[in-house]
Amino acid sequence: MGPDKNRLIEVRKKKLREWMEKEGNPYWVKFSPDHSTQKIRDKYGNLKAGEGVDIEVRLGGRIVAQRGHGKAMFIDIRDGSGKIQAYARKDILKERYSLFKKLELGDIIGVKGKVFKTRTGELTIDVSEFFLLAKSLRPLPEKWHGLQDIELRYRKRYLDLLFNPEVKKTFLKRGAIIKCIRDFLDRRGYLEVETPMMQPVPGGATARPFRTHHYALDKDFYLRIAPELYLKKLVVGGLEKIYELNRNFRNEGMDRFHNPEFTMLEIYSAYSDYKEMMELSEKLICEVAKKVNGSLKINYQGSEIDLSPPWRRMTFKAALKEIGGLEVNYENEEALKEAASKAGLKVEGLRKDQILEHLLDKKVVPNLIQPTFILDYPEETCPLAKRKKDEPSLIERFEIFIGGEEIGNAYSELNDPIEQRERFLKAKAEDKSLDEDFLEAMEYGMPPTGGLGIGIDRLVMLLTNSSSIRDVILFPQMRPK
């Protein structure tokens, strides 16, 4: 912070002290608005120029513009729904007009007054009374609107929201998307549940966890990488249709599609399978898009995407062959490595499942712009999914791809406790820690179940045409300055 800004802050602090001497502490003042700017516009927007109403409104908001001097002043007040003009006159406010003139950009005030339209057609509040509710000690930045320093905007999201209406629209839409998801699932009889964020054994996905220490128990815990195993325990317990919409944490890289803290929706339905989850996910995303955007056709990063069902369905093998130009023998690991090397992938030190996933990501996924289900993955790619009965080297799993990115992942859940233990041991060859409590729960019997996970941040990116996950997370993780 430069010396000029320090000086301005000290000037504002002095003005605050002077105000407190005359009016008392503004931070203690109680003010209850009865209108928002949008409500005022909705009710009185049809007034003709020069007309007014004999009804007083109460509005609270932040001063974002000031005009005029002498015996009259105009200010613009912004609240959560928009901006409106207010008009203050010395002949109305009397001796308090001198106090009104001391208000500054950024101050949060409450005003009372009647609504009228100026001769130029501007809807305005004729101020009869005002209250300072919070003094802004820092002057608002003059050139924040349209600021190109994206990182600064992420760090100071509160200013980004104040000055960039499009940013606010993104997060209003995010809230609408989440509400729509809950409404969709609630109508279908799903129960929303919460499971632990701190877990003694990380599980449910393959990722590096964050570790923390519980001092009272003198034990390490892990921020969850996924809620899956706990949700399946609830299915064992008889909660047959459940979902959780909450945070996951993965101690890995950050880029335009990854943040270490992110929001996931996980859904589990007993007596179901991955085919039913396919239908559910298609209906869910289509309903959300229709309700929040008004159409199943969207523009995402320059691509026109049509979400109209039915979505394309391709097997993992067919996708690699037809889109990626790779005909891969899953069983022959050497042939698989050779194909991967020719595709430009460094295979040294990679497991078979990692090679397969990387081949899909590199050769196929960027081409999946229109909504596509890739299904029937090799068994190695997920230890929690049920094998296909007629092709036991494959699993009943699908992923959703839209706009060249993964949006969701689902499978028919493996409910054989003996095979589950074997698959865990095989997948954790280097790490023998198993979630014994989960395996014990499965031994009591878990019904056939379909499970689905959707990345909420990526879905919001898609439906708001946002290029980075940081654009749809209010406070994304940033590197230290």
Q: Which two tokens stand for residue 73?
A: 């002043």
Would you say 104 is a known binding-site residue?
no
Specify the pairing of strand 372-378 against strand 312-315.
Answer: parallel
The span from the CA of 214 to the CA of 230, in Å, is 20
CB 407 within 8 A of CB 457: no
| Amino acid at site 36 | S
Query: In terms of Cα–Cα distance, which of 161, 127, 376 is closest to 275?
Result: 376
Phi, psi of 80 (to 5 degrees): -65, -15
The span from the CA of 392 to the CA of 371, in Å, is 27
Q: Which two tokens stand for residue 300?
A: 């995402």
Would you say 419 is a known binding-site residue?
no
Looking at the DSSP bridge assignments, the partners of residue 89 are: 72
| Amino acid at site 21 | E
Q: Which two tokens stand for residue 218?
A: 């003198």
Alpha helices (H) along 209-256: 228-236
Task: Work out whether the CA dihedral 222, 171, 474, 133 comes out positive or negative.
Answer: negative
Q: Which residues contact 346 (CB under 8 A, 6 or more apart)?
A: none
CB atoms within 10 A of CB 111: 25
**3-state SS class at 243:** strand
The span from the CA of 109 to the CA of 26, in Å, is 9
CB atoms within 10 A of CB 199: 20
Greatest Cα-to-Cα distance within the chain, rounded to the nearest angstrom: 90
CB 274 within 8 A of CB 410: yes
**3-state SS class at 151:** helix
| Amino acid at site 354 | Q
Query: In terms of Cα–Cα distance, which of 126, 106, 124, 123 is closest to 114?
Result: 126
Residues making up the annotated binding site for Mg(2+) are: 399, 406
Residues making up the annotated binding site are: 399, 406
